[in-house]
């Protein structure tokens, strides 16, 4: 499902090149579950961004569901994300001006052609919200929800389009222990139901245990 | 781009965007309102003038001559009168009017009427009906200002030359004449049959003889004028048709209204700046949302379209409200500009004007919003995962340049469309850009300086308040720009007004003459001089004045020049006007020699008589040093050579001349004299004038303090109109200010809650706020004042050519008023933030 070959990322920082990732090679099978672990600043988020096509690597290539991201234009990658990729962020990243339901609907409505969209988006949105336990909160704004609730809306949004791959960057980083566990349980369950490939960045050793495959980053290099 | 998503997203986001920047669209409302009002008014005036064109002239055709109608013309008039048309005669000249009961005199415009003029429109008088009785005896109708100045009442005697009249009433309105014209030339209407009794017509004073025609067939007027064109021209009789008169009026009023429109346009451009600033802050807040949308698969274009659509829709809302506002103000304008209107103006709806206003408003909102919106395109999806390292990069790519270009083009195009003349439009656009740049630059520099040099030991509340000017998402520059602009417009206008009026305030300047005595005949010179001396004053040397016309330029007769349509041609007015020349052997204080030589040396034998020409006139006539002008001095042709060119500062209150002759040439020509004197007290001035008029009825005296009053009225009326339009700009500034306060409300609330939890009292929190607005208000006031001073100085020095005095106190007053308003508006708008319960506040902060 995901192939990364000789990935390297170098940023210009204060006029000096700073190599954040070098020579990363990895493969994730369809319906696989990859956990990326490592200390803060080791390049986890950078790697996730490259795998999801949010950024271009300085060298190397990423193939996502059989498509080489390298030659794709910015817009083509956006469309690819809309079709095949879901995201869960550490800071939830719900759109503050939209209600819970409207947030969930965004990926569906972004589909360029009506034919590609699910039959009844509203109904699908409500079902997803009900699935994450927020069936009663569809018209609440993010500010009116607690952190755990917001992250559950984000989960519903991530699965709205039936993505092939779900990327999650420390989804429990901003939640307390119990809430975090509940969110992770929900995430794994949804993932299994939808047969989604999951790439997850985490600090949580216990969570990493549940992955099929764990890579450890240190100073921008894979160790294992 | 994904249209359905764009629409859905714009609609949903619009709910909150409306709260954030919708308010700023009120600045667009004000700008559009100002433009729609003034442009609708313009259309109203044009319509009214054309509708009442006949009233403007009072007849179908007007013939005008400087001599009694020549026989050839009189013959025509008699023949049309015999065939069903009506002819009315009005003879007018300037003269002194004297009321024996008070002993006071005033220079007035005397009009002797005969026949049915005005044929169209009514003369309104007080008491009503005195118009119809005017012809029933030695009666006079006068302007109110005449009564006031003479201290006379209706029923009093009025003396004009040797004739005596009873004041029968005052003129309220003459058809076709704006109120302001009665201020400039106060009228006295008398029956024509008593004109001869005044014994003033023969004295070579400037008399206008007019004949007004009501034709049996009014449509014939143009044909009539054309048929007799050659004859009239030969007789030096001018013909004015209804259409020409309407055209003239419409044109000058249009120019005036367009200038006011430019002031309104300034409000719209300020609105644009307000929108740009609001969108800028708005976009900064939206960057995360944009990044998330990009992550979720939205293309750059789609995201951009979501926000552009919102800006456009809000602009539409603002502009639509502006049209409504404009239509409301349109109804007020005739009242404000009443003094300048010769006809009654009835406001009507002009759909094209309204539509144009709507379009311009939306366009301005979009184009000004576009530049900050472009940074939406630079947001990368990666920013949803991690805050950007270098902040949003605003690259100067082609798109930005294109938008900048479109913005500049918009401003220039709008200015040109609004200005009376394309170049005036370009100049206005340039001036607007420079002003905005300087205001913005000064705001920036002053904030920097404040930050840099601010005393570190100041109390905490003060330091915090000043620091707030630099908070993220601050709109310090925007507020300074808009409020400062208001101060700038009001301030510079005030400076110019004060300088003009001060220049005119003769009593404050002991060295200035304040009484002009003119139309003194050759044989009255000694008498007038000794009369002035007897009153205890000294008169300046009498200045001779010789009326003349141009007969030929370099040997080519004027008629030939006028007919020649090829190549550059001397200006028509310059060829045809009557000049008043003088002769003397030196230059005077208001003159400066630009080229050639003054006649200090005696003339070479056989050379042409030498003259000195004012540079502007030389340009209009297309002549220079060495060229020959032949003058028709009351029938005698005198050929002269231009040996010098002069610059004349006309703004000075002195007797200035286009053309000065060397002495000796015009000695024999019929000459009248003018002299200046200074008579300090008003009473003495009145006494001297009375004695002059009684001894020499044809001699006129002009009390310059009257001219001063007239100009004060005139300048006051114009200033009122400009101020009214400037109100829109000032209101724009206030809206931007309130908007800026609202924008920072959440941060402010969070801060105040934080401060309170840290133990600050409500009073201290208020003080922080107050300090911030005091700083902001003073910044705006100061910036506006400095700019106003510079602009005022430039206008006074270069345009009006006067010496400059800065009315520092008043200017500071305007600046202070703006600062105080800023503080009040800021405190009132920020008030609710301080009263909020902390919990509700914490919930809202996330939004
Ligand atoms: N645009 C950038 N410019 C410069 N340095 C960057 C940039 N993006 C990331 N970095 C650096 O790369 C390193 C890895 O960052 P990141 O991938 O966010 O680490 P992690 O997610 O493992 O904490 C950090 O040291 C960060 O400072
Ligand atoms: Mg990270």
The string of pLDDT tens digits covering residues B467-525 is: 777 776 677 787 888 888 888 888 888 888 888 777 666 555 666 778 888 889 889 99
B36 with B78, same domain: the answer is: no
Q: Are B771 and B465 in contact (CB under 8 A)?
A: yes
pLDDT value at residue B255? 85
List of long-range contacts for B719-725, beta carbons under 8 Å, 24+ apart: B719/B493, B719/B497, B720/B336, B721/B260, B721/B336, B721/B337, B722/B260, B722/B263, B722/B493, B723/B490, B723/B493, B724/B336, B725/B34, B725/B38, B725/B260, B725/B263, B725/B264, B725/B267
Residue whose entry in the numeric block shows the structure tokens 């965004």: A106
∠B784-B785-B788 over CA atoms, to 5°?
85
**Cα three-residue angle B492-B495-B499, rounded to 5 degrees:** 145
Same domain (yes/no): B632, B758: no
User: Which residue puts its alpha carbon closest to atom 3 of ligand 1?
Assistant: A11
Per-residue pLDDT reduced to its tens digit, B192-249: 999 999 888 875 567 899 999 998 888 888 888 889 988 888 888 889 988 888 888 8
Q: Characterize B13-47 residue by residue with b for buried, 16 or more Cβ atoms within 10 angstroms of its Cβ, and e for exposed.
A: bbeebeebbbbbbbbbbbbbbbbbbbbbbbbbbbb
Pocket of ligand 1 (CB under 6 A): A 11, 13, 18, 20, 38, 40-46; B 386, 389
B599 with B505, same domain? no
What would the 3-class secondary structure string for B125-159 be? EECCCCCCCHHHCCEEEEEHHHHHHHCCCCCCEEE
DSSP-derived secondary structure letter, B378: G
> Helices in B374-475 by DSSP H: which ranges?
398-418, 422-453, 460-467
**CA dist., res. B464 & res. B567, Å (int):** 71
Q: Which residues surround ligand 2, an ion (CB under 5 A)?
A: A 45
Q: Kindly state the DSSP code that residue B603 receives in the 8-state scheme.
A: P
Q: Is residue B259 part of a domain?
A: yes
Share of chain B above pLDDT 90, in %: 26
From ligand 2's centre to the CA of A95, what distance in Å? 21
Ligand nearest to the Cα of B382, by number: 1
Answer yes or no: is B742 within a domain.
Answer: yes
Domain ranges of chain A: 28-56+71-223
B255 and B326, same domain (yes or no):
yes
Q: Is the pLDDT of residue B845 over 50?
A: no
Separation of alpha carbons B419 and B723, rounded Å: 18
Whole-angstrom distance, CA of residue B743 vs CA of residue B217: 69
* Burial readout B617-648 (b: 16 or more C-beta within 10 A, e: otherwise): bbebbbbeeeeebbbbbeeeebebebbbbbeb
The backbone torsions φ and ψ at residue A123, rounded to the nearest 5 degrees and listed phi first, read -65, -40
| Per-residue pLDDT, B839 | 53
Cβ neighbours of residue B813 under 8 Å, at least 6 residues apart? none
Mean pLDDT within B127-146: 90
Q: Give the residue-averaged pLDDT of B178-183.
A: 77
Both B656 and B747 in one domain: the answer is: no
- Which residues constitute the domain of residue B133? 56-245
Which residues, at least 6 apart from B566, have a Cβ–Cβ distance to it below 8 Å?
none
Output the DSSP codes for A55-124: S--SEEEEEETTEESTT--HHHHHHHHHHHEEEE-TT----TTS-HHHHHHHHHHH-SSGGGS-S-HHHH
CA distance A73 to A69: 9
Phi, psi of A52 (to 5 degrees): -85, -5
How many domains does one find in chain B? 4
B843 chain-A contacts, CB cut-off 8 A? 143-144
The answer to whether residue B847 scores a pLDDT higher than 50 is no
- Please tell me the distance from the alpha carbon of residue B354 to that of residue A70, in angstroms, as a whole number: 53
- Mean pLDDT, to the nearest integer, of B338-363? 90
Residue B114: strand, helix, or coil: strand
How many CB atoms sit inside 10 A of residue B533's CB?
12
**Residue listed under structure tokens 């609105």:** B271
Question: Is the omega angle on the peptide bond into residue B118 within 30 degrees of 0, that is, cis?
Answer: yes
Mean pLDDT of B305-321: 91
Q: What value does the CA radius of gyration of chain A take, rounded to a whole number of Å?
A: 17
Structure tokens at A135: 């069936």
Three-state secondary structure call for residue B626: coil
The four Cα atoms B185, B188, B194, B195 give a dihedral, to 10 degrees, of 0
CA pair distance B394, B377, nearest whole angstrom: 9
How far is ligand 2, taken at its centre, from the CA of residue A173, in Å? Answer: 10
Half-sphere exposure of B522 (CA within 13 A, CB side): 7
Q: Is B306 on the interface with A (CB under 8 A)?
A: no
Residues B41 and B98 in one domain: no
End-to-end CA gap in chain B? 28
Average pLDDT of span B640-663: 84
Q: Is B28 helix (H, G, I), strand (E, B) or coil?
A: helix
pLDDT in tens, A144-200: 899 999 999 999 999 998 999 999 999 988 888 888 889 999 999 999 999 999 999
Which residue in B588, B596, B581 sits closest to B633, CA to CA? B581
Distance from CA of A29 to the nearest CA of B (A): 23
Indicate if B406 and B479 belong to the same structural domain.
no
For residue B297, list chain A residues with Cβ-Cβ distance below 8 A.
78-83, 85, 107, 110
**Which segments of B744-837 does DSSP mark as H helices, in order?**
745-757, 762-794, 808-835
Beta-bridged to residue A7, according to DSSP, are A24
Give yes or no: residues B93 and B184 share one domain: yes
Q: What is the pLDDT, as a whole number, of residue B746?
A: 65
Chain A within 8 Å of B298 (Cβ-Cβ)?
Answer: yes
**Tens digit of pLDDT for each residue in A95-116?**
888 899 999 999 888 887 766 7
Q: What does the DSSP assignment read for B256-306?
A: HHHHHHHHHHHHHHHHHHHHHHHHHHHHHHHHHHHHHHHHTT--HHHHHHH
Number of CB atoms found within 10 A of residue B790's CB: 14
- Interacting residues of A22 by C-beta distance below 8 A, sequence separation 6+: A8, A9, A220, A221
Residue nearest to atom 24 of ligand 1 (CA): A41
For testing the chain B interface, which of A97, A112, A166, A200 should be mutated: the one with the most B CBs within 10 Å?
A: A97
Residue B515 lies in a domain: no
- CA dist list (Å): B751 to A144, B456, B788, B838, B842: 21, 21, 37, 11, 11
Provide φ and ψ at B217, rounded to 5°.
-115, 100
CA–centroid distance, A57 to ligand 1, in Å, is 13
Answer with the one of B230, B245, B260 that is the final residue of a domain.
B245
Q: How confident is the model at residue B456 (pLDDT cuts 50, 70, 90)?
A: confident
**Nearest CA-CA partner of B256 in B187, B336, B186:** B336
- Closest chain A residue to B843, measured at CA: A143
Closest residue in chain B to residue A114, using alpha carbons only: B4
pLDDT exceeds 60 at position B140: yes
* Digit-coded pLDDT (tens) for B615-650: 989 998 889 999 999 999 888 899 999 999 998 876
pLDDT in tens, B741-784: 777 666 667 677 777 667 667 777 778 888 888 888 888 888 88
In a shared domain, residues B64 and B207: yes
Rounded to whole angstroms, how far apart are CA atoms B672 and B542?
9
Using one digit for the tens of pLDDT, what is the confidence trace for B554-604? 988 988 888 777 767 788 788 888 888 999 988 887 788 998 999 888 888
**pTM for this prediction:** 0.79
Boundary residue ending a domain (B198, B217, B245): B245
Window 278-297 of B, Cβ < 8 Å to A: 288-289, 291-297
Cβ proximity of A121 and A145 under 8 Å: no
Burial class of residue B185 in the structure, from the number of CB atoms within 10 Å of its CB (0-12 exposed, 13-18 middle, 19+ buried): middle
Distance CA A154, CA B810 (A): 61
What whole-number distance in Å separates Cα of residue B348 and Cα of residue B334? 12
Look-up of token digits 């109109």: B721
ipTM of this complex: 0.91
Examine the domain organization and report whether B60 and B120 are in the same domain.
yes
Same structural domain for residues B255 and B378? yes
Q: Which residue in chain A has the smallest CA separation from B384?
A: A93
Among residues B353, B369, B270, B334, which one has the least CA distance to residue B30?
Answer: B270
**What average pLDDT does chain B have?**
85
Q: What is the DSSP letter of B567?
A: S
Angle, vertex CA A29, rays to CA A26 and CA A33, nearest 5: 85
> What class, spelled out in words, does domain A28-56+71-223 have in CATH?
alpha beta
Of B15, B296, B844, the CB nearest to A82: B296
| Residue B520 lies inside a defined structural domain of this protein | no
Report the half-sphere exposure of B210 (CA within 13 A, side-chain side). 21
| B478 in Cβ contact with B733 (< 8 Å) | no
Could you tell me if residue B698 is inside a domain?
no
Instruction: Please name every residue paired with B646 in a beta bridge, in sequence order, or none if there are none.
Output: B593, B614
**B115 HSE (CA, 13 A, CB side):** 20
User: Percentage of residues in chain B with pLDDT exceeding 70?
Assistant: 93
| Integer Rg of chain B from CA | 34
């Amino acid at each position: 499902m995901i192939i990364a070959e000789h990935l390297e990322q170098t940023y210009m920082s204060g006029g000096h090149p700073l190599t954040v990732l070098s020579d990363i090679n990895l493969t994730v099978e369809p319906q696989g579950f990859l956990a990326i672990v490592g200390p803060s600043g080791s390049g986890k988020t950078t790697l996730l961004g490259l795998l999801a096509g949010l950024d271009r690597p300085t060298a190397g290539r990423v193939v996502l569901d059989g498509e080489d991201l390298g030659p794709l234009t910015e817009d083509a990658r956006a469309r690819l994300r809309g079709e095949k990729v879901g995201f869960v962020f550490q800071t939830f990243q719900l759109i503050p001006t939209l209600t819970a339901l409207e947030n969930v609907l965004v990926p569906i409505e972004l589909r360029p052609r009506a034919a590609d969209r699910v039959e009844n988006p509203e109904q699908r949105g409500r079902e997803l919200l009900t699935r994450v336990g927020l069936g009663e909160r569809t018209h609440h704004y993010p500010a009116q929800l607690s952190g755990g609730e917001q992250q559950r809306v984000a989960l519903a949004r991530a699965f709205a389009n039936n993505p092939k791959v779900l990327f999650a960057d420390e989804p429990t980083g901003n939640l307390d222990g119990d809430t975090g566990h509940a969110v992770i349980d929900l995430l794994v369950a949804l993932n299994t139901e939808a047969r989604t490939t999951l790439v997850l960045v985490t600090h949580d050793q216990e969570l990493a245990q549940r992955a099929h495959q764990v890579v450890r980053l240190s100073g921008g290099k894979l160790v294992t | 781009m994904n249209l359905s998503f764009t629409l859905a997203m714009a609609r949903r986001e619009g709910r909150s965007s409306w709260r954030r920047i919708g308010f700023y669209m009120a600045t667009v409302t004000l700008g559009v309102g100002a433009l729609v009002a003034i442009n609708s008014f313009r259309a109203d005036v044009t319509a009214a003038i054309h509708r009442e064109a006949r009233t403007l002239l009072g007849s179908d055709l007007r013939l005008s001559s400087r001599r009694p109608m020549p026989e050839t013309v009189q013959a025509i008039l008699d023949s049309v009168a015999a065939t069903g048309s009506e002819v009315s005669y009005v003879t007018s000249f300037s003269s002194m009017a004297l009321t024996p009961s008070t002993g006071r005199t005033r220079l007035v415009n005397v009009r002797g009427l005969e026949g049915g003029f005005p044929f169209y429109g009514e003369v309104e008088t007080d008491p009503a009906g005195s118009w119809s009785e005017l012809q029933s005896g030695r009666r006079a109708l006068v302007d109110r200002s005449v009564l006031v100045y003479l201290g006379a009442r209706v029923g009093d005697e009025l003396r004009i030359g040797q004739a005596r009249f009873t004041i029968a009433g005052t003129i309220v309105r003459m058809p076709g004449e704006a109120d302001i014209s009665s201020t400039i030339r106060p009228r006295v209407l008398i029956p024509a049959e008593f004109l001869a009794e005044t014994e003033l017509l023969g004295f070579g004073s400037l008399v206008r003889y007019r004949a007004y025609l009501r034709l049996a067939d009014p449509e014939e007027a143009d044909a009539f004028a054309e048929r007799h064109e050659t004859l009239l021209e030969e007789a030096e009789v001018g013909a004015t048709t209804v259409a020409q008169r309407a055209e003239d009026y419409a044109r000058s009023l249009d120019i005036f209204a367009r200038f006011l429109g430019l002031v309104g346009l300034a409000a719209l451009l300020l609105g644009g700046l307000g929108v740009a600033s609001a969108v800028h802050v708005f976009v900064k807040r939206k960057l995360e949302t944009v990044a998330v949308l990009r992550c979720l698969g939205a293309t750059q274009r789609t995201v951009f379209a979501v926000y552009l659509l919102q800006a456009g829709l809000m602009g539409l809302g603002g502009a639509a409200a502006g049209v409504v506002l404009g239509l409301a103000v349109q109804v007020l304008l005739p009242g404000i500009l009443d003094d300048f209107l010769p006809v009654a103006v009835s406001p009507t709806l002009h759909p094209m004007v309204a539509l144009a206003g709507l379009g311009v408003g939306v366009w301005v909102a979009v184009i000004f919003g576009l530049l900050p919106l472009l940074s939406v395109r630079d947001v990368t999806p990666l920013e949803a995962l991690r805050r950007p390292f270098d902040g949003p990069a605003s690259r100067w790519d082609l798109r930005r340049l294109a938008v900048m270009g479109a913005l500049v083009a918009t401003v220039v195009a709008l200015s040109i469309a609004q200005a009376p003349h394309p170049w005036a439009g370009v100049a206005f656009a340039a001036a607007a850009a420079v002003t905005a740049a300087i205001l913005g630059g000064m705001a920036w520099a002053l904030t920097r300086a404040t930050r840099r040099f601010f005393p570190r030991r100041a109390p905490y509340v003060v330091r915090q308040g000043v620091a707030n000017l630099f908070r993220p998402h601050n709109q310090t520059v925007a507020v300074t720009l808009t409020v400062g602009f208001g101060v700038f417009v009001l301030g510079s206008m005030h400076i110019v007004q004060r300088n003009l009026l001060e220049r005119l305030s003769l009593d404050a300047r002991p060295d200035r003459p304040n009484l002009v005595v003119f139309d003194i005949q050759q044989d009255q010179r000694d008498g007038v001089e000794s009369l002035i001396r007897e009153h205890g004053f000294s008169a300046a040397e009498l200045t001779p004045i010789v009326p003349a016309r141009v007969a030929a330029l370099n040997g080519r007769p004027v008629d030939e020049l006028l007919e020649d349509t090829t190549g550059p041609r001397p200006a028509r007015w310059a060829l045809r006007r009557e000049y008043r020349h003088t002769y003397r052997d030196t230059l005077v204080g208001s003159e400066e020699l630009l080229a050639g030589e003054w006649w200090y040396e005696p003339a070479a034998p056989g050379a042409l008589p030498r003259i000195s020409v004012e540079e502007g006139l030389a340009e209009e006539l297309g002549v220079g040093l060495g060229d020959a002008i032949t003058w028709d001095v009351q029938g005698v042709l005198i050929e002269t050579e231009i040996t010098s060119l002069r610059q004349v500062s006309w703004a000075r209150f002195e007797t200035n001349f286009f053309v000065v002759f060397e002495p000796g040439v015009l000695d024999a020509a019929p000459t009248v004299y003018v002299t200046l004197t200074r008579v300090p007290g008003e009473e003495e001035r009145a006494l001297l004038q009375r004695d002059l008029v009684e001894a020499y009825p044809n001699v006129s005296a002009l009390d310059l303090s009257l001219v001063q009053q007239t100009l004060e009225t005139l300048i006051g009326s114009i200033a009122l109109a400009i101020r009214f339009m400037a109100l829109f700009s000032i209101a724009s500034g206030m809206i931007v200010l309130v908007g800026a306060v609202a924008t920072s409300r959440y941060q402010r609330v969070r801060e105040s809650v934080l401060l309170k939890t840290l133990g600050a009292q409500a009073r201290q929190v208020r003080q922080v706020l107050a300090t911030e607005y005091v700083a902001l208000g003073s910044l705006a006031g100061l910036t506006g004042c400095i700019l106003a001073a510079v602009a005022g100085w430039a206008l006074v020095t270069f345009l009006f050519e006067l010496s400059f005095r800065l009315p520092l106190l008043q200017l500071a007053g305007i600046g202070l008023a703006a600062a105080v308003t800023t503080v009040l508006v800021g405190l009132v708008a920020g008030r609710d933030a301080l009263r909020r319960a902390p919990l509700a506040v914490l919930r809202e902060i996330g939004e």
